[in-house]
Amino acid sequence: MFDLFVQFVRDTFNDSDGFIPLHEPRFTGNEKKYVNDAIDSTFVSSVGQYVDRFEEQIRTYTGSSYAIATVNGTAALHMALILAGVQRDDLVITQPLSFVATSNAIAYTGATPCFVDVDLDTLSLSPEKLAAFLDAHTEIRDGHCYHLASGKRISACVPMHTFGHPARIDAIVRICAAHQITVVEDAAESLGSTYQGQQTGTFGLLGTYSFNGNKTITCGGGGMIVTNDEQLGRLGKHLTTQAKVPHPWEFNHDQTGYNYRLPNLNAAMACAQMEQLDGFIANKQQLAGLYEAFFQTTPYQFVQQPANSQSNFWLNAILLSNRQERDAFLAYTNRNGIMTRPAWTLLPSLPMLSHCPHDDLTHAQYIEDRLVNIPSSVRLT
């Protein structure tokens, strides 16, 4: 069966004998034109027309009131947590199945991640598990939620839309609101995905995206914060620009700032990629349909988009029967020139996070043992 999959991928990507990556970027639009224009303008750093244009494109696309371009997605999430009021020694709830950047951004604030299990259908934070954890292990005092065992304040919750599949984010926001917890969406992988017709990243107080080289659209790096809160939108731009007070020549800074703004060169590429985003997503959804049809005749389960959702299918994935079969599949495909990858190691298993509080993680462990990501690039026609 493994050999049939390898042949199917080669046929699907029209590549008979080459190496097929997991997800490679496509530069088929105005990328070179815009980058050259940025070079000619001499505005190549964090000030320039393409930074402004990129932020406007994201505002329009997501329906957000404010968009703040950052140097990468991790910086975006770190800043969003600061804007959300996360402080040193707080707890921040997130999911164990995520890229390490999620927990790193939490750690940058001096807070500690607290892990709650995921759902098997969304691969993202489970509303039911979240509600059960909060009911059993927290209390509300003075308008804040406190973790009973540690006495720490739970200041935020960071659900991550895994592989581009939307979490049941409306329920998560509702549960967190009832417990006085701010929601910051890690939508790094899910630009263009919708839940009940609304863009992921726009349900919480703040949301963040990534434009790393392996994302649906890329500018080499890059991130974005979105919010509908005017005060936070303005403060986010101020803090990411070294908290510099505007003045024709003086260097006045009114608080600790961050060198987090996106360079104009990267933004130029991002603007060209945004012009192609809807086409890229349609292409990837078509690929997902081909995979779904193929895997219907196999023992393996193709990960479909959750109910009430439209996924960008950033990374397609399958579930095998156990960890041994997963590892055999990974070894065979990579040996035969098809790049596949397992899900991330669960975050609480990493040495620097082993001390963090967590609830039962049965679903996350099930997924880690079985899931494999398969080639998901936009196909050239």
User: Contact, 130 vs 177, CB < 8 A?
Assistant: no
Backbone angles phi, psi at 355, to 5 degrees: -85, -5
> Which contiguous run of DSSP H or E holds residue 7?
helix 2-12
Radius of gyration (C-alpha) of the chain in whole angstroms: 21
What pLDDT, on a 0 to 100 scale, did the predictor assign at position 187? Answer: 98
Q: What is the pLDDT of residues 264-323, one digit of tens each?
A: 999 999 999 999 999 999 999 999 999 999 999 999 999 999 999 999 999 999 999 999
The strand pair at 112-115 and 91-94 is best described as parallel
What pLDDT, on a 0 to 100 scale, did the predictor assign at position 140? Answer: 97
Q: Can you say how many angstroms the Cα of residue 379 is from the centroid of all Cα atoms in its chain? A: 22
Q: What is the pLDDT of residues 133-168, one digit of tens each?
A: 999 999 999 999 999 999 999 999 999 999 999 999
pTM score = 0.97
User: Contact, 165 vs 124, CB < 8 A?
Assistant: yes
CA distances from 88 to 83, 94, 287 (A): 13, 16, 44
What pLDDT, on a 0 to 100 scale, did the predictor assign at position 16? Answer: 85
CA angle (238, 79, 253) in 5-degree steps: 30
What pLDDT, on a 0 to 100 scale, did the predictor assign at position 260? Answer: 98
CA–CA separation, 191 vs 223, rounded Å?
Answer: 11
Question: What residue ranges of the chain have pLDDT lower than 50?
Answer: none
Rounded mean pLDDT of the chain?
A: 97
Spatial CB neighbours of 197, under 8 Å, sequence gap ≥ 6: none
CA–CA separation, 317 vs 20, rounded Å?
Answer: 16
